[in-house]
DNA sequence: ATGAAAGCGCTAACAG
DNA sequence: CTGTTAGCGCTTTCAT
């Protein structure tokens, strides 16, 4: 552990060069793995750098003909604990591959509480000229970032995107996930089921389609209904009311994610319908919410760490061309909310 | 909406200068609110910029003798929905004041799932030379960032820090918060209470001290106990077991935050103690968890938006010197978990 | 193998 | 008021 003697500004490449008695360029070479540097000089430089506590300035590096080793991870928002797992797994894989990462949030909540692109963050990211981009979660207005995705290899994780120029979309295999759920419910002897999907997001649409397919496959036919609700509890309540007034209450409700499921449970219970007594409920994502004993929600674990590492993998492989869609196989976590008993 | 004609690289200040028939410097002046630019030239420049789709390169700006208008918001982690509110409120205030913001996460989860400083993020942030720093939440290893906090006006929000050189620490007034809780519990006729604090964090310690003071104030004397647990459910269970084996079960347990409270409830119910029937429980933070009907946890709302804006305010006022500690007054949100009835 | 020199995009004195 | 000239810290030809 050595201290750098100059108390004011951080040392620059020039300071190191002077200390080592070599030129700037040589220092740069050493720090960028240049092969053709004499062992002696290399040592001198490294030693001087250590002595001074020199760290290359990333901003300068990026300005000067973009460095190709920093990957930006754009997180949809700071709310969703889900994303944290994906991000850390992706980062771990990237670091392993010798890449630097910059993790920034893509959206902020404006005054109305709705998410909007964080233009400041995006602008800085753009100017940093990252070598790659991983977008985690559904980002509203992601299409506006076309100038980025067109230039920079981009992978979308845990979201869907139609943009032609993303290297890969890595997400949970909704078909398998919903099949697991429907099969489980069928096993419990359920005969009428309903799906409560979300807002207009593509993920929601995909899960809805997956539900319809799974329901058909398991012979539910007309006994499978679909309702929509955004993620607010108020809206879940509305959707449930809808379901209730349509006559018969389904014996099970499949929510597109855990948050919606909790809204559904709340709405059902507020209406005097007990869960799982009178109606089973399942979620998707297997967030920590699902595991809380009082909630004990059967949910689909999408294996977020695998999604994250697969996204990183896809990006690293992007040199070899488009990867396309990577579907990560989920597994069902059965809890109290789906045991009629 | 105009397109820039050059399909390859984004336009630079030079392109704009050429297009407008002026010098680089003039363009720079126009974009930095220079007063002494003739109206005509200014228009020409603005028009050329618009035409080309020019956006100043922030990285270049920051490299070239630091711009003084970008504030970095360092978020402890991506898990805690709490922070999202603080961040967005702080950002809103900053934007209002004409500041740019960069929101980055300060920590990542390593393989063990424990949080560590995200050195990449920090390094980039440092090199960007932000004009100010707002650290949101307790960041492990924050002390290692001393070189930053020593140089850059820093405000800590929703955490405590002893570093001498932070401009301000903005946090919930724990004393008031816990007094509200204890008073409420006393009103319910509770005679023995216990506090379950957390890991070794300063916030936890502060709330524990606040609890002791409030308990004394409300005449609990020896009937107030303290137990510790980290935020895992397993540990909450252990702490509760501890409490149970100490003989009498307290009539109410005050948890240092909502997450711990939920662990406590789970542990109590697993031990056959009903909440709120046999024991009342309260939390702190008023997260969305508390509002879930099945949880219905009485909690202290710290008013995160005010914490965020106050932090921004303190930073903006930092020119006028150290602000010190800003305590934001919380309010109690009473829910089912604290109604013996 | 090494150094000199020319930028990356921008700002900031400094002259005109 | 406007243009010229130096850099910010680093990479990268291009000579040597």
Q: What does the angle CA B91 – CA B92 – CA B96 come to, to the nearest 5 degrees?
A: 115
Outline where DSSP puts E strands in A173-251. Answer: 193-197, 224-228
Query: Which nucleotide's C1' sits nearest to the alpha carbon of A61?
Result: D10
Whether the per-residue pLDDT at B34 is higher than 80: the answer is no
- The string of DSSP codes covering A64-115 is TT--S-EEEEEES-SS-HHHHHHHHHHHHHHHHTT-EEEEEESEEE-TTS-E
Q: Residue B229 carries which DSSP code?
A: -
Q: Give residue-wise pLDDT tens across range A253-302.
A: 999 999 999 999 999 999 999 999 999 999 999 999 999 999 999 999 99
Distance CA A208, CA B314 (A): 48
Whether the per-residue pLDDT at B5 is higher than 60: the answer is no
Q: A101: which chain B residues are within 8 Å (Cβ-Cβ)?
A: 118, 120-121
Q: Residue B137 carries which DSSP code?
A: S
What structural domains and CATH numbers belong to chain A? 13-56 (1.10.260.40), 70-171+304-328 (3.40.50.2300), 174-303+332-338 (3.40.50.2300)
Mean pLDDT of all residues belonging to chain B: 89
Residue A286 in contact with partner chain B when CB distance is under 8 A: no
**How many Å apart are B87 CA and C10 C1'?**
29
Confidence (pTM): 0.91
Lowest mean pLDDT among A260-269, B45-54, B308-317: B45-54
Residue A143 in contact with partner chain B when CB distance is under 8 A: no
Average pLDDT over every residue of A1-23: 73
pLDDT value for B67: 64
**B341–chain A nearest CA distance, Å:** 19
Mean pLDDT of all residues belonging to chain A: 90
Q: Quick check: B204 and B259 in contact, CB under 8 A? A: no
Instruction: Please state whether beta strands A224-228 and A193-197 pair in parallel, antiparallel, or not at all (unpaired).
Output: parallel
**How many Å apart are A258 CA and C8 C1'?**
48
**How many Å apart are B66 CA and C11 C1'?**
9
Report the residue count for chain B: 341
Is nucleic acid strand D under 7 Å from A232's C-beta?
no
Average pLDDT over every residue of B269-294: 95
- The string of DSSP codes covering B305-341 is HHHHHHHHHHHHGGGG---EEEEEPPEEE--GGG---
Q: Which one is predicted more confidently, A263 or B23?
A: A263
Distance CA A330, CA A298 (A): 13
Residue A81 in contact with partner chain B when CB distance is under 8 A: yes
Instruction: Please state whether beta strands A154-157 and A168-172 pair in parallel, antiparallel, or not at all (unpaired).
Output: parallel
pLDDT value for B176: 98
Whether the per-residue pLDDT at A219 is higher than 80: the answer is yes
Residues above pLDDT 70, as percent of chain A: 96
- Whether A294 sits inside 8 A of B294 (CB atoms) is yes
Cα dihedral sign for A261, A237, A295, A249?
negative
Whether the per-residue pLDDT at A318 is higher than 60: the answer is yes
Spatial CA neighbour of A338 closest among A237, A228, A188, A238: A188
Is nucleic acid strand C under 7 Å from B60's C-beta?
yes
Spatial CA neighbour of B256 closest among B191, B199, B340, B185: B199
The 10 Å Cβ neighbour count of residue B248 is 10
**A213–chain B nearest CA distance, Å:** 32
pLDDT value for B245: 82
- Whether A289 sits inside 8 A of B294 (CB atoms) is no
Q: A265: which chain B residues are within 8 Å (Cβ-Cβ)?
A: 293-294
Q: Give residue-wise pLDDT tens across range A117-167.
A: 999 999 999 999 899 999 999 999 999 998 889 889 999 999 998 777 899
Q: Which of B57, B120, B269 sits opposite A127 (nearest CB)?
A: B57
The protein residue nearest nucleotide C9, judged by CA to C1', is B60
Lowest mean pLDDT among A1-10, A228-237, A288-297, B229-238: A1-10
Whether the per-residue pLDDT at A4 is higher than 50: the answer is no
Q: Give residue-wise pLDDT tens across range B61-93.
A: 888 866 668 899 999 999 888 999 999 999 999
**A218–chain B nearest CA distance, Å:** 32
- The string of DSSP codes covering A266-332 is HHHHHTT--TTTT-EEE-SS--HHHHSTTT--BEEE--HHHHHHHHHHHHHGGGG---EEEEEPPEE
Residues above pLDDT 90, as percent of chain B: 58
**How many Å apart are B62 CA and D8 C1'?**
8
Q: A236: which chain B residues are within 8 Å (Cβ-Cβ)?
A: none
Consecutive H or E run containing B60: helix B58-63
The protein residue nearest nucleotide C8, judged by CA to C1', is A64
Distance CA A138, CA A83 (A): 10
Query: Which nucleotide's C1' sits nearest to the alpha carbon of B65?
Result: D8
Whether the per-residue pLDDT at B290 is higher than 90: the answer is yes
pLDDT value for A66: 66
């Amino acid at each position: 552990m050595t201290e750098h003697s100059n108390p004011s500004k951080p040392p620059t490449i020039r300071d190191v060069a002077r200390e080592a008695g070599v030129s700037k360029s040589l220092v740069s070479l050493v720090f960028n793995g240049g092969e053709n540097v004499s062992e002696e000089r290399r040592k001198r430089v490294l030693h001087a750098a250590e002595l001074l506590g020199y760290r290359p300035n990333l901003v300068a590096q990026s300005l000067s003909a973009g460095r190709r080793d920093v990957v930006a991870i754009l997180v949809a928002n700071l709310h969703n604990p889900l994303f944290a797992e994906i991000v850390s797994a992706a980062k771990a894989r990237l670091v392993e591959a010798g890449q630097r990462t910059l993790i920034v949030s893509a959206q902020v909540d404006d005054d109305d509480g709705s998410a909007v692109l964080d233009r400041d963050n995006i602008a800085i990211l753009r100017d940093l000229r990252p070598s790659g981009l991983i977008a985690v979660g559904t980002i509203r207005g992601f299409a506006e970032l076309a100038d980025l995705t067109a230039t920079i290899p981009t992978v979308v994780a845990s979201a869907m995107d139609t943009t032609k120029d993303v290297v890969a979309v890595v997400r949970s295999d909704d078909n398998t996930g919903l099949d697991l759920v429907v099969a489980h419910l069928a096993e419990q002897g359920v005969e009428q089921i309903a799906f409560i999907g979300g807002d207009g997001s593509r993920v929601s649409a995909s899960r809805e389609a997956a539900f319809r397919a799974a329901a058909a496959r398991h012979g539910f036919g007309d006994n499978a209904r679909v309702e929509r609700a955004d993620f607010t509890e108020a809206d879940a309540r509305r959707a449930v009311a809808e379901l209730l007034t349509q006559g018969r209450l389904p014996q099970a409700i499949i929510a597109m994610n855990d948050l919606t499921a909790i809204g559904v449970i709340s709405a059902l219970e507020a209406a005097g319908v007990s869960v799982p007594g009178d109606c089973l409920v399942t979620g998707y994502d297997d967030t920590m919410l699902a595991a809380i004993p009082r909630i004990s929600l059967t949910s689909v674990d999408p294996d977020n760490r695998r999604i994250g590492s697969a996204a990183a993998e896809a990006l690293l492989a992007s040199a070899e061309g488009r990867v396309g869609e990577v579907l990560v196989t989920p597994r069902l976590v059965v809890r109290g909310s789906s045991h009629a008993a």
